């Protein structure tokens, strides 16, 4: 059964076609990655599939509107609605069945007419069967697992959703969609605003999810983990590939290589044929020349390979740094520490020290750092959850914020170029053109040619910086970075707002860079491709790890060494049985309490087991009471029916309470186990 299909689908804005003649089918459990350059039409196609926009041309077959769920990049919410109420809308039908079931149980406890009892029992059995078929007893578990996995704090449940930040809005909308049970999920950049841990949870969830998926994303690692098919939108057309992003990239490269060979071969044949025709157009071979012209006219021309609009970067260092580029000693940082002077007072290439001034030493640190050294040529990726302090650490290393304890040393011969996440290095009062001319003397023509390598063409170069999109600002910041001769690049989320092709180009040039890299990124593809060491900022501490992100995560999943901060792997299952993990706990920092001993862990595990047994016992008891009610109705015993009705109502209440206790105990147990792994 086809979930959705299109034939001859086309859409235009004014006279400009976005795409035309698209044809595709989406099968059950398809997981489709939608890729292409910024502006190719990915978001437009998703909006059409979501019925937010109507295509100008073609035929489109979709599921019913309530069976399609859509996550846009920007989410709006009505005023006055709490997060808890918003999320529970996903279970409106289930909650209605619950309310009807409670009403039936209350009526069974008081009625005495056998006919009415039989009618109520029949309806009770029907409603309960529908509730069980829809996994109705587990929706509270699903809700808790989903918000925990996406890193949504329980404290936000009572807050008004309309007051949330952009990242919180995205997480809330994503949680609502995952809980809704639609047949087709349309997700536009779902990993925006998610940290790595939440993204990994989402990957595992989507791989096990029943609905078909169409996902527009620039996160290559995410697409590798989730996608089974890839659609590329380019030049108004859609090319379908089998497999995830890496498989698509390989197939695309093979296809482009074949197209280049075919184009070159055909061009050579055409050139030889045209030369023959020109030479023998008149003379003894004129008949052959006319014949060849006719054959040439009938040749179907192979087009040149498509240019996807890739950035063309080049970054190189001119001065060799010393052996030690940067070192930290007893460093502790806080975002509310006073501002520093930055590197403006540094003599080029001379050693420099950022040290905690006396006035900052009373500030409570957000992060304490292990002593660390960065050698010439090292590639350091700073990773960790949102809000952990990664950007603050970079700003301390750059001298923009003073340390609250300890110091950071910049070594001899170090020349730093800094790429800030919010692009503070750009002059919002200038233009694209002035932004690069100010970096290095060049003529306007040279600057325009140079900016063309960063996809600024025509009058784009006269755009004011204040009017640029996020992607355009990122490209301008990279253009300025390419004009530096620094031997140390410090980059804060350099792939934000870049499409997949721009990310590939940036990764390639950074891989060839002959200096030192220090970068913050949630792009695991970039981290795995470049990093030789990881600085992990989490739970108030910065630790150093050798090797790649994937190696560190694999070691943790295998129960790796005591020196690493192990974290529980969040469950992907939307519905859980007692004893399984409810998702990532909102655990406290390691320094907030003493490490648990073996007895404390044993007691917590025993409590969790006892409550899980209570849940199982109550579920079995409810089934027995329902069976007894049906038997009593057939036997015509009104007094038994009343007593059994009361017992059913009581057991249902006890089950809900036991499930809530189990969730709380299980979260506490996982926190203890997480702490215990740090011994």
| Whether residue 399 has pLDDT greater than 70 | yes
Mean pLDDT of 495-505: 84
> What pLDDT does residue 544 have?
92
Selection from 534, 207, 160 nearest residue 379 by Cα: 534
Least reliable range by pLDDT among 147-151, 303-307, 368-372, 547-551: 303-307
Least reliable range by pLDDT among 259-273, 305-319, 625-639: 625-639
339: helix, strand or coil: strand
Q: Would 610 be classed as within a structural domain?
A: yes
Mean pLDDT of 228-256: 89
Q: Would 502 be classed as within a structural domain?
A: no
> What pLDDT does residue 560 have?
44
Q: Would 646 be classed as within a structural domain?
A: yes
Task: Give φ, ψ of 422 to 5 degrees.
Answer: -90, 10
Mean pLDDT of 520-525: 89
Asked whether residue 40 falls in the same domain as residue 99, the answer is no
> What pLDDT does residue 572 have?
37
Q: Would 515 be classed as within a structural domain?
A: no
| Whether residue 82 has pLDDT greater than 70 | yes
Asked whether residue 203 falls in the same domain as residue 239, the answer is yes
Q: What are 232's two structure tokens?
A: 């590329």
Instruction: Quickly state the pLDDT bin for 42 (edges 50, 70, 90).
Output: very high
Q: Would 313 be classed as within a structural domain?
A: no
Instruction: Quickly state the pLDDT bin for 561 (edges 50, 70, 90).
Output: very low
Asked whether residue 595 falls in the same domain as residue 671, the answer is yes
> What confidence tens digit (pLDDT) does each residue in 89-99 have?
888 877 888 78
| Whether residue 651 has pLDDT greater than 80 | no
Bridge partners, residue 13, by sequence: 16
Asked whether residue 59 falls in the same domain as residue 13, the answer is yes
> What confidence tens digit (pLDDT) does each residue in 183-211 have?
999 999 998 888 888 888 899 889 888 89
Asked whether residue 122 falls in the same domain as residue 9, the answer is no
> What pLDDT does residue 580 have?
35
Mean pLDDT of 606-625: 77
Percent of the chain past pLDDT 90, that is, above it, reads 22
Bridge partners, residue 4, by sequence: 26
Asked whether residue 128 falls in the same domain as residue 239, the answer is no
Selection from 135, 130, 59, 63 nearest residue 101 by Cα: 130
Least reliable range by pLDDT among 245-249, 393-397, 538-542, 548-552: 548-552
Instruction: Quickly state the pLDDT bin for 44 (edges 50, 70, 90).
Output: very high
| Whether residue 220 has pLDDT greater than 70 | yes
Point out the domain boundary residue: 213, 247, 281.
247
Domain span at 622: 590-676
Q: Would 68 be classed as within a structural domain?
A: yes
Cα-Cα-Cα-Cα dihedral sign, residues 571, 573, 575, 578:
negative
Q: How far apart are CA 190 and CA 199, in angstroms?
A: 9
| Whether residue 623 has pLDDT greater than 80 | no
Q: Is the CB of residue 230 less than 8 Å from the CB of residue 245?
A: yes
CATH of the domain at 621: 1.20.58
Asked whether residue 45 falls in the same domain as residue 186, the answer is yes
> What confidence tens digit (pLDDT) does each residue in 343-368 have?
755 666 677 888 888 878 788 999 99
Instruction: Quickly state the pLDDT bin for 562 (edges 50, 70, 90).
Output: very low
Q: Would 571 be classed as within a structural domain?
A: no
Percent of the chain past pLDDT 70, that is, above it, reads 84
Q: How far apart are CA 584 and CA 536, in angstroms?
A: 18
Element (H, E) at 206: helix 196-208
How many domains in the chain? Answer: 3
| Whether residue 514 has pLDDT greater than 80 | yes
CATH of the domain at 223: 3.40.50.300
Asked whether residue 98 falls in the same domain as residue 243, the answer is no
Q: What are 12's two structure tokens?
A: 């235009």
Mean pLDDT of 164-193: 88
Mean pLDDT of 127-153: 80
Mean pLDDT of 374-378: 91
> What pLDDT does residue 602 have?
74
Point out the domain boundary residue: 190, 220, 247.
247
63: helix, strand or coil: coil
Least reliable range by pLDDT among 413-417, 437-441, 506-510, 566-570: 566-570
Mean pLDDT of 82-88: 90
| Whether residue 70 has pLDDT greater than 90 | yes
Asked whether residue 121 falls in the same domain as residue 241, the answer is no
- Residue 127's alpha-carbon distances to 92, 97, 100, 103, 120, in angstroms, are 15, 6, 8, 11, 10
- Residue 647's alpha-carbon distances to 107, 116, 487, in angstroms, are 13, 19, 75
Asked whether residue 188 falls in the same domain as residue 228, the answer is yes
> What pLDDT does residue 603 have?
73
> What pLDDT does residue 406 have?
92
The total of other beta-carbon atoms located within 10 Å of residue 329's CB is 16
Asked whether residue 109 falls in the same domain as residue 72, the answer is no
| Whether residue 253 has pLDDT greater than 50 | yes
Task: List helix spans (H) across 308-418.
Answer: 390-397
Q: Would 88 be classed as within a structural domain?
A: no
> What confidence tens digit (pLDDT) does each residue in 418-462 have?
888 777 778 888 888 888 887 777 888 888 888 887 888 888 888
Mean pLDDT of 589-606: 60
Mean pLDDT of 327-335: 92
Core vs surface per residue 67-106: b (16+ CB within 10 A) or e: ebbbbbeebebeeeeebeebbbebbeebeebbebbeebbe
Point out the domain boundary residue: 247, 267, 287.
247
Name the average pLDDT for the chain.
81
| Whether residue 641 has pLDDT greater than 80 | no
Per the model's pLDDT, the better-predicted residue between 345 and 534 turns out to be: 534
Provide the pairing of β-strand 416-419 with 488-492: parallel
Least reliable range by pLDDT among 308-322, 543-557, 567-581: 567-581
Asked whether residue 595 falls in the same domain as residue 634, the answer is yes
> What pLDDT does residue 54 have?
92
Q: How far apart are CA 398 and CA 352, in angstroms?
A: 10
């Amino acid at each position: 059964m086809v979930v959705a299909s299109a034939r001859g689908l086309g859409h235009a804005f004014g006279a400009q076609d976005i795409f035309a003649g698209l044809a595709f089918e989406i099968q059950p459990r398809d997981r489709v990655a939608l890729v292409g350059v910024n502006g190719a039409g990915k978001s437009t196609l998703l909006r059409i599939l979501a019925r937010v926009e109507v295509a100008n041309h073609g035929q489109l077959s979709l599921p019913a509107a309530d069976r399609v769920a859509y996550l846009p990049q920007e989410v709006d919410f009505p005023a006055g609605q709490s997060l808890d109420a918003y999320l529970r809308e996903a279970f409106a039908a289930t909650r209605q069945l619950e309310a009807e079931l409670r009403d039936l149980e209350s009526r069974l406890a008081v009625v005495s007419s056998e006919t009415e009892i039989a009618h109520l029992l029949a309806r009770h059995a029907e409603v309960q069967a529908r509730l069980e078929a829809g996994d109705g007893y587990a929706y509270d578990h699903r809700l808790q697992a989903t918000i925990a996995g996406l890193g949504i704090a329980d404290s936000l449940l009572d807050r008004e959703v309309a007051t949330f930040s952009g990242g919180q809005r995205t997480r809330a909308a994503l949680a609502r969609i995952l809980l809704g049970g639609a047949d087709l999920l349309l997700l536009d950049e779902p990993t925006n605003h998610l940290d790595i841990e939440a993204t990994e949870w989402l990957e595992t969830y989507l791989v096990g999810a029943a609905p078909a998926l169409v996902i527009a994303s620039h996160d290559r690692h995410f697409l590798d983990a989730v996608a089974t098919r890839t659609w590329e939108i380019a030049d108004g057309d859609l090319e379908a590939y089998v497999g995830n992003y890496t498989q698509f990239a390989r197939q695309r490269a093979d296809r482009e290589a074949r197209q280049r060979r075919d184009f070159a071969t055909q061009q050579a044949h055409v050139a030889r044929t045209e030369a023959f025709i020109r030479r023998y157009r008149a003379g003894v071979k004129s008949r052959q020349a006319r014949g060849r012209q006719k054959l040439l006219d009938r040749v179907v021309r192979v087009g040149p390979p498509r240019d996807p609009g890739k950035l063309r970067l080049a970054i190189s260092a001119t001065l060799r740094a010393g052996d030690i580029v940067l070192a930290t000693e007893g460093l502790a940082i806080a975002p509310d520490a006073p501002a520093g002077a930055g590197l403006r007072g540094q003599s080029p290439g001379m050693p420099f020290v950022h040290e905690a001034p006396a006035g900052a030493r009373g500030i409570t640190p957000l992060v304490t750092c292990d002593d660390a050294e960065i050698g010439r040529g090292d590639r350091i990726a700073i990773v960790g959850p949102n809000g952990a302090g990664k950007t603050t650490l970079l700003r301390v290393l750059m001298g923009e914020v003073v340390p609250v304890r300890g110091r950071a040393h910049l070594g001899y011969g170090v020349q730093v170029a800094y790429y800030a996440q919010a692009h503070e290095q750009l002059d919002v009062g200038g233009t694209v053109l002035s932004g690069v001319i100010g970096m290095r003397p060049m003529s306007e023509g040279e600057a325009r040619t140079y900016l063309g390598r960063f996809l600024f063409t025509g009058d784009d170069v006269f755009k004011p910086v204040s009017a640029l999109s996020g992607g355009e600002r990122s490209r301008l910041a990279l253009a300025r970075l390419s004009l530096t001769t620094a031997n140390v690049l410090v980059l804060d989320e350099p792939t934000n707002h870049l499409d997949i092709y721009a990310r590939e180009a940036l990764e390639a040039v950074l891989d060839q860079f002959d200096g030192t890299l220090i970068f913050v990124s949630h792009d695991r593809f970039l981290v795995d491709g470049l990093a030789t060491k990881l600085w992990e900022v989490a739970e108030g501490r910065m630790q150093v790890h050798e090797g790649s992100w994937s190696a560190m995560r694999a070691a943790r999943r295998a129960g790796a060494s005591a020196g690493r901060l192990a974290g529980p792997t969040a469950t992907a299952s939307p519905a859980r049985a007692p004893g399984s993990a409810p998702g990532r706990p909102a655990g406290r920092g390691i320094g907030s309490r003493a490490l648990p001993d073996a007895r404390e862990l044993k007691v917590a595990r025993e409590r969790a087991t006892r409550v899980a047994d209570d849940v199982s016992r109550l579920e079995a008891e409810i089934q027995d009471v329902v069976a007894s009610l049906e038997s009593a109705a057939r036997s015509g015993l009104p007094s038994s029916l009343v007593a059994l009705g009361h017992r059913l109502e009581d057991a249902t209440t006890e089950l809900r309470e036991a499930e809530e206790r189990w969730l709380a105990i299980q979260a506490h147990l996982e926190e203890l186990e997480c702490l215990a792994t740090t011994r």
